[in-house]
Structure 1
Amino acid sequence: MKILVTGGAGFIGSAVVRQAIAAGHQVVNLDALTYAACLDNVAEAATSDRYAFVQADLRDRPALDAALAEHRPDAIMHLAAESHVDRSIDGPGAFIETNITGTYNLLEAARAYWTAAGRPESFRLHHISTDEVFGSLGPEGQFTEDTAYDPRSPYSASKAASDHLVRAWHETYGLPVVLTNCSNNYGPYHFPEKLIPVVILKALAGDPIPVYGAGENVRDWLYVEDHADALLTVLQRGALGRSYNIGGENEARNIDIVRTICAILDRMRPKDTPHADQITFVTDRPGHDMRYAIDPGRIREELGWRPSVTLEQGLEKTVTWYLENEPWWRALQDRQGVGTRLGQAS
């Protein structure tokens, strides 16, 4: 199968690219190379003669048409998105343009390409989204595919809008689509402005480790390579028009994640005092959802997929990767906004 992956130089997209190449697929990586992208993420896959790269922006419809006409993919996996909640608070415009208008452009380009090809039954567009579109949970319950949308940030609102567009293009035009909504990802190549890499890098630098509020916010954590495996499973075997929630079955409070990472570093990179002494509680961000939790029953029962990595295993693997790949994260620390507090708009 030849797969066009949008955002294939990003965190999750690059994991999909690496796994797809390893599985024998052809991959066209279409990425605008914005601040969070890094072609080093796919350096190993890029040595394959089954890999191609196209630098293009979702906001540029002619570029999308040209990429589809040249490479003629069998499927599209749409991962390209602005995804950092704090940045969406400071600058929502980029999220509207990329996540909503960009998705519209891709849907229209895909529809034109699919129609011109005779509407082949084998073609499909897989739209990858987030559990944040469902809003915030109380102490009980889980998100299902039937949970009503209730986004609380500019980021999640823009992703919710893109989900609705994808469903509308399926219902109105018959475009063959599948959708997935995932829980929080972590693992190798995670851009160093998200919680887990921030904790690792602040701890290594001896700096205060910032924890929003009291650290009581709960997330379901999904190892990125497990997620990539799930996405390729849905692409190939998911029912058209169907959505699948993908979770790691690993709920944890933010403060517990932070303390676990500190304990791992105490073993792997010991110093005179525990790394947990660097934890500093800071003012919470506006609209910070209290709890996310996913019920992954549909993907488990229909497609036989379950995560393979526990949270403890995944955190150990992630810390080890950052310790062994310092040149990768050092090169990204000078990019705009990295290492500074964002998302404090009143």
Structure 2
Amino acid sequence: MATKFSKETYLYWYEMMLLLRKFEEKTGQLYGMQKIRGFCHLYIGQEAIAAGCMTATTPDDKFITAYRDHGLAIAKGVSAKSCMAELYGKATGCSKGKGGSMHFFGVEQGFFGGHGIVGAQIGTGAGIAFAEKYKGTKNVVLAFYGDGASRQGMLHETFNMAMLWDLPVVFICENNHYAMGTSVARTSKTLDIYKMADAYEMPADTVDGMSPEDVHNAVLRAVNRAREKGGPTLLEIKTYRYKGHSMSDPQKYRTKEELEEYKLKDPIEHVLKVLQTEYAVDDASIEAINERVRLEVEESVQFAEESPWPSDDELLKDVYVQQDYPFITD
């Protein structure tokens, strides 16, 4: 069956999603070994969102997300080594070992976090979009949040201002159905989260988050609208996390049957099938990708293990930023 996407795109998606999956699986293993401490939220199952967003955006576009941030950070170009070092709390981490799992950051790559306060990044994302518009760039901001954050007041205030000022921002709700452990149906009469945009006359759509093709198409439409000064879009991307909310989650709120049903829609398996059946990619080529990913993950662990701890004099650094304001006088 013919497809709109090239073989190269599917190869990119496969390798990207496999890297995110294997990095997270290794993270879970290391957490169990107590190499990684504190809170830790895995992205396993949601990889198609990161992959589809990457092919629909430019390197100059900005991403900002909540605390389930490992996958989007690596996809945006923050190295697996610096991410793993951050999980270890090492000085070579992407946040100097001070942020941990929930606060990855990569300003050079256009990745603005990793935010632990639920919904806080929605307003910050609009602020970054305001800066891009003020500077006259063509850049667009993708502000990711979960279904649980849809109940935050920050969202409504931000939607109103973003529409009022026609900001170049795409709000992406990664709806994995459960927030911390409570289903959307138990917290909202609005089960179709994308309809929340109606109150602000914001364009919106619902997207299959297990399909990188659908994610790409929806995000591309939204970023093109923003670049053409058409303002914000809300995308509710329906996905599913295969692991718990965090490493301490017993997952008693969902059935094993439900989990297995979603695993049948695994985006990595889908893309692999397309490569094998539609593009006749042979086993040796797939194995070469698998081996590259395996080595990248293993090298990230070795890098983290061998990296130094932050020095004591780093304790109070990066807490405040020294800024000179020429219009303020003593």
TM-score range, shorter-chain basis? Answer: 0.3 to 0.5
Bigger strand fraction: 1
Bigger helix fraction: 2
Report the TM-score, using the length of structure 1 for normalisation: 0.38
Larger relative contact order (C-alpha < 8 A, sep ≥ 6)? 2
